[in-house]
Structure 1
């Protein structure tokens, strides 16, 4: 069919990564998991996404793409280019990619996910979190 674009589906060899990310994201107030273009995506109910799980297009490595504040993308990619990258499609909007097969640190993942969540969450949800 004209106009259809093939998108990869999440099919990692290790679903422990998805379970770990699910645990981190769903612990935040108001978060729902949905599938977007075949990928597990986490967002605020009724609002846009703040993080999603991908297999890196070039080599199939697991990655998380997350929303970031202005300037954070450049800073992270510059400091650690082996771990952080500018993802296609969402990179021009400031999103950052993090390779999950290199020095996976769930505390770090939780930190970047929470910051991404705060950029998307309502004031009420942030107050609930900070409560």
Structure 2
């Protein structure tokens, strides 16, 4: 028996996050453990998630799960908006709720977090292609 679907396919936050994630080279989407995941060879972003032990309503868990850059992790952990998501946290992932506190989503920030996670998981060739798309010189 598979995992139940734990998101609303018509969710506008999901649609916006999908556009951010699928704009990256070779990015694809799959449903894993009931949630949308974006990946190349490895997963770089997930939509959903909760704090471990909080399973109130899986459809309400509307967060970006991402793998932060090690150099930025400590600063992100100091920001009260971020939390360690259930199951992904031990692997170093963080979560940014996209619907909390009545604040509007900063999609530029979301795109930066997604891109950073992508850069850590996508491999050298894909990162080089991303740099070309961004007009960044190669190191």
Under TM normalisation by the shorter chain, which class is it?
0.7 to 0.9
Whether 1:112 aligns to 2:113 is yes
The size of the alignment, in residue pairs, is 123
Unaligned runs of 5+ in 1: none
TM-score (ref. length: structure 1): 0.82
Contact (CA 8 Å) 2:7, 2:34: kept in 1 or not? Answer: no
Counterpart among 31, 37, 42 of residue 41 in structure 1:
37
When you count strand as a share of all residues, which structure comes out higher? 1
Counterpart among 7, 11, 20 of residue 11 in structure 1:
7
Contact (CA 8 Å) 2:7, 2:48: kept in 1 or not? Answer: no
1:1-131 equivalent positions in 2, closer than 5 A? 7=3, 9-12=5-8, 15-44=11-40, 47-56=41-50, 58=54, 60-70=60-70, 72-78=72-78, 80-81=79-80, 83-102=81-100, 103=103, 104-131=105-132
- Over aligned residue pairs, what C-alpha RMSD do you find? 2.1
TM-score (ref. length: structure 2): 0.78
